[in-house]
């Protein structure tokens, strides 16, 4: 009986075990089938080249519309600097909750209106929107982490940030231009950062192509005024002579943490040599910041100034988690929804997906061989 019971137990255990994994089907296929699969791979490579061409044309389209946006951005700069005062029609704005807010704060407004009017009469009206871009730097975590206390007085002189795309027929790239008013720190009126891109499949691994990627960047030389360079600091060091035993004090300059190191970036290795892990991470972070300036900060500056864009990004992240939970228990609802898809809905969904992607950090390109971030390129998919 004991042996019989053990036999049943083993039979039950063997029944519960998952089936063994199937052998690798690719290597076990007949030679003729492998030949056809190789032909499919050839087609896939051709698809990758067509996709690369698609992204090149998207870049051309972005360049075209950048020219249409620019007059609006120029007017934005005039309002910020105070060179132009908006008209009553231009400054009229009604928020969604304005009526509710007005009713809720009506009593409070009446109670303090006299005090506010008196204070306004005493204080002169500021010109433009003071510290507009500096406020954005403080509001956005990705940027505020780069800014040191001694950077702040300089960034208060920042008047505008522009994005310039490469000319037609030139290699894909974009330039960030930081425009400063005259200040006590450097003589440059514009600081630039150029990001070089490519949109072509890698010959060694064409199937890894997922769209344009930033591959390198160039900064610019900052002409610092004497004693104002915040990217270096002077330290004193004592040296003792081995023979005579005398001690002397020397001074030397060493690198200093500063946002303005952004304009002296590491260069991606072009000779095939790999960068060390810290350099790769620094370069990848640089690419991500440049992409964020281009896709989020410059187009939506006022919303980052007010904080509304940051709230939208946070709400989207929370919404994604909620949608995943709802989808787990909503399979029956999907079965009932067999209505015909509206093309306008598809277009809206595509636009929303692109917008939500641009609000997220840019993913790193992964090196499958070592299962770690290669960090030399950041994907920008549309």
| Rounded Cα distance, 323 and 333, in Å | 14
**Position 145 in a domain:** yes
Residue 209 DSSP SS3: coil
Residue 283 lies in a domain: yes
b or e along 203-240 (b: 16 or more beta carbons within 10 Å of the residue's beta carbon)? eeebeebeebbbbbbebbebebeeeebbbeeeeeeeee
In a domain, 264, yes or no: yes
Which parts of the chain register pLDDT below 50? 1-5, 10, 316, 327-328, 330-382
pLDDT of residue 11: 53
Domain that holds residue 55: 40-88+128-226+258-318+372-382
- Separation CA 140–CA 74 (nearest Å): 23
3 state DSSP class of 218 = strand
| Whole-model pTM over 0.75 | no
Sign of CA dihedral 195, 198, 202, 206: positive
Handedness of CA 348, 353, 358, 360 (dihedral sign): positive
- Whether 343 is covered by a domain: the verdict is no
CA angle 370, 376, 377 (to 5 degrees): 110
H or E, element range at 216: strand 213-218
Would you say residue 307 lies in a domain?
A: yes
Task: Identify the helix (H) or strand (E) that includes residue 164.
Answer: strand 158-165
Which residues, in sequence order, are CB contacts of 238 under 8 Å at separation 6+? Answer: 247, 248, 249, 250
- Here the tokens at position 243 are 């023979």
209 domain-assigned: yes
Q: Do residues 147 and 137 make contact, with C-beta atoms less than 8 angstroms apart?
A: yes
What gap in Å lies between CA 215 and CA 199, rounded to an integer? Answer: 10
Q: Tell which residue, 62, 302, 26, has the closest CA to residue 166.
A: 62
pLDDT tens digits, 101-115:
555 555 555 555 656
C-beta of residue 42 within 8 angstroms of C-beta of residue 200? no
Phi, psi values for residue 210, rounded to 5°: -130, 10
In a domain? residue 300: yes
Is residue 190 included in any domain, yes or no? yes
**According to the model, what pLDDT value does residue 83 have?**
95
**pLDDT of res. 315:** 57
Beta carbons within 10 angstroms of residue 259's beta carbon: 20
pLDDT digits (tens, 9 = 90+) for 12-54: 555 566 666 555 567 788 889 989 999 999 999 999 999 999 9
Distance CA 188, CA 222 (A): 7
Residue 294: other Cβ atoms inside 10 A: 21
Question: Long-range contacts of range 64-72, CB-CB < 8 Å, 24 or more positions apart?
Answer: 66/163, 66/164, 66/165, 69/299
Number of H helices, E strands in the chain: 14, 8
Count of positions (residues) in the chain: 382
Distance CA 192, CA 262 (A): 10
* H helices present in 105-256, as ranges: 106-122, 132-139, 141-144, 152-155
- Domain with residue 170: its CATH number is 3.30.1120.90
Instruction: Show Cβ contacts of residue 155 under 8 Å, excluding neighbours closer than 6 positions.
Output: 133, 134, 137, 147, 259
What is the per-residue pLDDT for 22?
58
Please give the pLDDT value at position 109.
Answer: 59
For residue 215, what pLDDT is reported? 87
Number of domains in the chain: 1
């Amino acid at each position: 009986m004991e042996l019989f019971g053990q036999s049943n137990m083993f039979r039950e255990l063997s029944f519960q075990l998952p089936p063994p994994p199937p052998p690798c089907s690719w290597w076990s296929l007949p030679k003729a089938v492998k030949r056809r699969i190789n032909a499919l791979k050839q087609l896939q490579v051709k698809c990758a080249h067509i996709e690369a061409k698609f992204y090149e044309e998207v870049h051309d389209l972005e360049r075209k519309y950048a020219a249409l946006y620019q007059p609006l951005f120029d007017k934005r700069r005039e309002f910020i600097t105070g060179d132009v005062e908006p008209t009553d029609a231009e400054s009229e704005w009604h928020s969604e909750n304005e009526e509710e807010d007005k009713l809720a704060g009506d009593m409070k407004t009446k109670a303090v209106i006299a005090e506010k009017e008196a204070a306004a009469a005493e204080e002169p009206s500021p010109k433009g929107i003071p510290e507009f871009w500096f406020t954005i730097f403080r509001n956005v975590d990705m940027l505020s982490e780069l800014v040191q206390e001694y950077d702040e007085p300089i960034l208060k002189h920042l008047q505008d940030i522009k994005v310039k795309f490469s000319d037609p027929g030139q290699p894909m790239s974009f330039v960030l231009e930081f425009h400063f008013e005259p200040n006590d720190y450097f003589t440059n009126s514009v600081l630039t950062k150029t990001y070089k891109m490519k949109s072509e499949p890698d010959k060694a691994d064409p199937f890894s192509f997922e769209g344009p990627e930033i591959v390198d960047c160039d900064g610019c030389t900052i002409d610092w005024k004497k004693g104002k360079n915040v990217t270096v600091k002077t330290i004193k060091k004592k040296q003792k002579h081995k023979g005579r035993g005398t001690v002397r004090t020397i001074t030397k300059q060493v690198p200093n943490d500063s946002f303005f190191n952004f304009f002296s970036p590491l260069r991606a290795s072009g000779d095939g040599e790999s960068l060390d892990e810290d350099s790769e991470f620094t370069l990848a972070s640089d690419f991500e910041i440049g992409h964020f300036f281009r896709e989020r900060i410059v187009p939506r500056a006022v919303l980052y100034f007010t904080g509304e864009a940051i709230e939208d990004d946070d709400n989207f992240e929370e919404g994604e988690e909620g949608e995943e939970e709802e989808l787990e228990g909503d399979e029956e609802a999907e079965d009932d929804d067999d209505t015909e898809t509206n093309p306008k809905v598809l277009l809206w969904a595509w636009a929303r997906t692109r917008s939500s992607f641009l609000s997220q950090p840019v993913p790193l390109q992964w090196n499958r061989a070592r299962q770690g971030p290669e960090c030399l390129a950041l994907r920008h998919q549309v």
